[in-house]
């Protein structure tokens, strides 16, 4: 599990593309106490460290993950958001993130305000259905609050710290971003879907069974 509080931006150093993509990222902070086999969130994707030294970490990315995420679009020299897995005794600053994205969105508008920066992101309706105003979403692994939800899009506001500390400050129109909706909203949605399917039809027999009539 992760929190969506990015620890640092790494730099893509090498990419060997194929059915199994081998990705090497230059990093610093996330390498501290990291071992082979540990999980690291890379642009919102939970990946396993398969090799590392004092300056870089390597990952293998399965084809399915490549197809469902924006990692297949990465280029050497590009920045990526990095976060180590959440520890049990750490402060919880964002929201619960699994590192298993739900889809890819497209940046449609970048609007600069006086003290903040707005991103308007296009997303499929099956994703926006899980979003609510002031709710949580992870964009490329960054925990953010949703400002406004529409049928096929939503918007978020970024403060200067987020712009400087994550790759979202470099996003341009038509760039693709990884999206993971709030895990709790998925459980709630699933619960009510099951309730709807199992809800008995109102009938005389049902009312008798429940003791409303004789």
- 141: Cβ contacts below 8 Å, ≥ 6 apart: 2, 4, 6, 41, 42, 43, 44, 45, 81, 83, 97, 99, 178
Picking from 180, 170, 100, the residue whose alpha carbon sits closest to that of residue 146 is 180
Question: What pLDDT does residue 49 have?
Answer: 98
Q: Are 123 and 39 in contact (CB under 8 A)?
A: no
Question: What pLDDT does residue 202 have?
Answer: 59
- Region label for 16, one of left (φ > 0), alpha (ψ between -120 and 50) or beta (otherwise): beta
When mean pLDDT is compared across 52-66, 159-173, 191-205, the lowest value belongs to 191-205
What is the C-alpha separation between 51 and 120, in angstroms, rounded?
37
H or E element in which residue 112 lies:
strand 103-112
What is the C-alpha separation between 29 and 163, in angstroms, rounded?
19
β partners of residue 103: 179
Question: What pLDDT does residue 115 have?
Answer: 77
pTM attached to this predicted model: 0.87
pLDDT digits (tens, 9 = 90+) for 151-196: 999 999 999 999 999 999 999 999 999 999 998 888 877 777 777 7
The structure tokens listed for 8 are 């640092």
Q: Catalogue all structural domains in the chain, each as residue range(s) with its CATH number.
A: 8-84 (2.40.30.20), 103-198 (2.40.30.20)
Distances in whole angstroms, Cα of residue 116 to Cα of each of 110, 136, 138, 176: 11, 18, 18, 21
């Amino acid at each position: 599990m992760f929190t969506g509080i990015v620890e640092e931006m790494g730099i893509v150093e090498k990419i060997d593309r194929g059915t199994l993509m081998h990705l090497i990222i230059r990093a610093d902070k996330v390498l501290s106490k990291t071992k082979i086999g540990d999980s690291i969130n890379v642009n919102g994707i939970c990946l396993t460290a398969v090799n590392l030294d004092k300056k870089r970490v390597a990952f293998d990315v399965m084809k399915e993950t490549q197809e469902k995420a924006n990692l297949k679009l990465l280029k050497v020299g590009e920045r990526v958001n990095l976060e180590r897995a959440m520890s049990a005794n750490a402060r919880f600053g964002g929201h619960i993130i699994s590192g298993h994205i739900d889809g890819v969105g497209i940046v449609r508008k970048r609007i600069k305000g006086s003290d903040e920066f707005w991103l308007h992101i296009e997303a499929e309706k099956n994703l926006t259905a899980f979003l609510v105003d002031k709710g949580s979403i992870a964009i490329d692994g960054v925990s953010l609050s949703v400002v406004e939800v529409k049928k096929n899009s939503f918007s978020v506001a970024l403060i200067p710290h987020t712009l400087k500390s994550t790759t979202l400050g470099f996003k341009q129109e038509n760039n693709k971003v990884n999206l993971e909706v709030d895990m709790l909203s998925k459980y709630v949605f699933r619960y009510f879907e099951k309730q709807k399917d199992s809800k008995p039809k109102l009938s005389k027999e049902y009312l008798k069974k429940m003791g409303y009539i004789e």
